[in-house]
Amino acid sequence: MLDFLYFLTPIFRIRQIGTMMLFTFKRKVSLIFCLVGNALYCNSAIAITPNAVDLNGVYFTPILTLNETYDDNIWNASGIEGDPVQASWVTTIQPQLNLSAIDRLNVYEIDYRLKHSEYHSKDDENKTEHFLSTSADMEFTTRHRLKLSAKHTKQQEDRDSTNRNPLNNESANKYQYSELAALYGFGAKAAKMYIDLGLEGQNYKYLNNRYSASQTHLRDHDTLSALIRANYNYSAKTRFILETQYSDYSYKSSNLDNEVWRYLAGVNWQPSAKLGTLAKFGVQDKTFSDAGIDDASNQVWEAAINWSPKTYSLFTLSTSNKTEEGSATESFINTDQYNIAWQHEWLTRLVTNLKYTFEKNKYGLLNDLGTARQDDVNKYLVSISYAFRNWLGFELGYEYVNQNSNFDINSYDRNQIYLNTKMSL
């Protein structure tokens, strides 16, 4: 993700709020981060400019997002016999509180968001999720930088085929996630060469369905990851990248313990203010501790092209390959993803978005038993947003997802029509 931030830097502008320099985006940040974060759809693409309250050098920003959605398949159900489709209107309320401060070149931030969703046709699907994060981005000198961050969330997944089976008497899977991360940068970014060193720890723990049909206790695990990246500034417009990543996955109750090595080489090329590119390619080796589970080796990549022919229009192409951890039914999930998007600012306050994503998901077999699952996923989004005031914005949108799987129970279509309202001070 850090490379994408470097890649997009020229698109950002700096806006002064009191004595604090805040990075904002000229109505484009939501689109870019949705795409490069491997998620086509974000909570809201509404661009508002909230006024931070100055609390003696600490800036407080409250934001409230209201969403009304008609969802014709809240469970991602296939519709085949025994797996009925359930539709519902869904009302979502998201209050968010942000505290930030700056001390010379050091930026500190704490952010909390609550997300409560009411399903009007299915009360037992109602859920409340929590998202807490904090970060300290410090620049001691031009040659020494350190970013520290921490996250803790409590979330609920969409129902899967096991949850939906009435014989299992299960609700949707709930889990909590914690993360601690540090990224140290050595060397001036304007110098010929500089390096990044990263360390990250993660913890996943499922909170329900632990010993019922879903056996979610088998998915509890800790992850320890390390990163070393060398950056070589060939010219003012070109930066070459060499990167090695290591991750150790340690499971509490299953035999999925494994180690992953990733080796990537790439280039960040920005020939003009209108065009920017980033491409990294390499290999990944995933080795399981259990000799009965097949190891996996594959090519990996991250690439994106941003083209802005006009200051008010942006086209984005991106693609990536990622491998996620498995569960009680698969050893891993490998995903190839391809995105294309267009965002256009017709008027100062009126913006439209068109987005398309294609994903191919391949599931690793456990103990070479059965047939490996494969999914082809198509996602479409069209939306229009209007900033009525600097502190008040609206977005009307339509999303369609089609998933075709070699297991019929995992194939589905899903349509959502939504209206978002975002407001602040």
Q: Which two tokens stand for residue 255?
A: 């035999």
User: Residue 121 half-sphere exposure, CB side, CA atoms within 13 Å?
Assistant: 13
Letter for the amino acid at 159? Answer: R
Express each pLDDT in 320-366 by its tens digit. Answer: 999 999 887 889 999 999 999 999 999 999 999 999 999 999 999 87
Let me know how many helices (H) and strands (E) the chain has, helices first.
3, 21
Q: Which amino acid is at 26?
A: K
What's the rounded Cα separation, in Å, for the pair 42 and 348? 22
Confidence label for 22 from pLDDT (cuts 50, 70 and 90): very low
pLDDT mean across residues, the chain? 89
Residues ≥6 apart with Cβ < 8 Å to 259: 246, 247, 248, 249, 286, 287
List own/partner pairs for 19-28 with CB under 8 A and 24 or more apart: 19/57, 19/102, 20/52, 20/59, 20/100, 20/101, 20/102, 21/102, 22/52, 22/59, 22/100, 24/49, 26/311, 27/343, 27/345, 27/351, 28/314, 28/343
| Per-residue confidence band for 95, with pLDDT thresholds at 50, 70 and 90 | very high
What is the reported pLDDT for 45?
64
pLDDT of residue 328: 75
Q: Between β-strands 144-156 and 275-288, what pairing exists: parallel, antiparallel or unpaired? A: unpaired
Give 102's DSSP letter.
E
Per residue in 35-44, pLDDT (tens digit) is 444 433 344 5
Q: Which residues contact 302 (CB under 8 A, 6 or more apart)?
A: 3, 264, 266, 278, 279, 280, 319, 320, 321
Res 8: pLDDT: 38
Q: Over the stretch 375-384, which tens digit does the pLDDT of each residue have? A: 999 999 999 9
**In contact, 26 and 10? CB cutoff 8 Å:** no
Share of the chain above pLDDT 90, in %: 81
Model confidence band, residue 423 (pLDDT cutoffs 50, 70, 90)? very high
**pLDDT of 47:** 74
pLDDT of residue 46: 75
pTM of the model: 0.88
CA distances from 172 to 78, 158, 333, 400, 404 (A): 16, 6, 20, 22, 22
Q: Tokens for 122, please give them.
A: 């299915």
The identity of residue 302, as a single letter, is E
Per-residue pLDDT band at 25 (split at 50, 70, 90): very low
What single string gives the DSSP state of each residue in 263-292?
Answer: EEEEEEE--SSSEEEEEEEEEEEEEESSTT
pLDDT of residue 336: 97
Asked if residue 420 lies in contact with residue 82, where contact means CB atoms within 8 angstroms, the answer is no
Output the CA–CA distances (angstroms, integers) from residue 399 to 178, 323, 338, 377, 418, in the order listed. 30, 25, 17, 13, 8
Mean pLDDT of 303-309: 97
Distances (CA, A) of 338 to 195, 255, 352, 398: 29, 32, 21, 20
Lowest mean pLDDT: which of 149-158, 223-232, 366-375?
A: 366-375
List of long-range contacts for 377-382, beta carbons under 8 Å, 24+ apart: 377/401, 377/402, 377/403, 377/404, 378/402, 378/403, 379/40, 379/41, 379/355, 380/355, 380/356, 381/40, 381/41, 381/353, 381/354, 381/355, 381/356, 382/352, 382/353, 382/354, 382/355
pLDDT for position 21 = 38
**C-beta of residue 280 within 8 angstroms of C-beta of residue 304:** no
Return d(Cα 3, Cα 278) in angstroms, integer: 8
> CA-based diameter of the chain, in Å?
64
Q: What is the pLDDT of residues 125-184, one digit of tens each?
A: 999 999 999 999 999 999 999 999 999 999 999 998 899 998 899 999 999 999 999 999
* Res 11: pLDDT: 34
Q: How far apart are CA 305 and CA 318, in angstroms?
A: 6
Angle in degrees, CA 46, 48, 50, rounded to 5? 140
Length of the chain as a residue count: 425
3-class state of residue 4 by DSSP = helix
Q: Which of 367, 3, 34, 424 is nearest to 183 (CA)?
A: 3
Instruction: Calculate mean pLDDT across residues 97-116.
Output: 96
Grade residue 299 by pLDDT with cuts at 50, 70 and 90. Answer: very high
Query: Percentage of residues in the chain with pLDDT exceeding 70?
Result: 89
Range name among 8-12, 34-38, 291-295 with the lowest pLDDT average: 8-12
- Name the DSSP class of 167: G
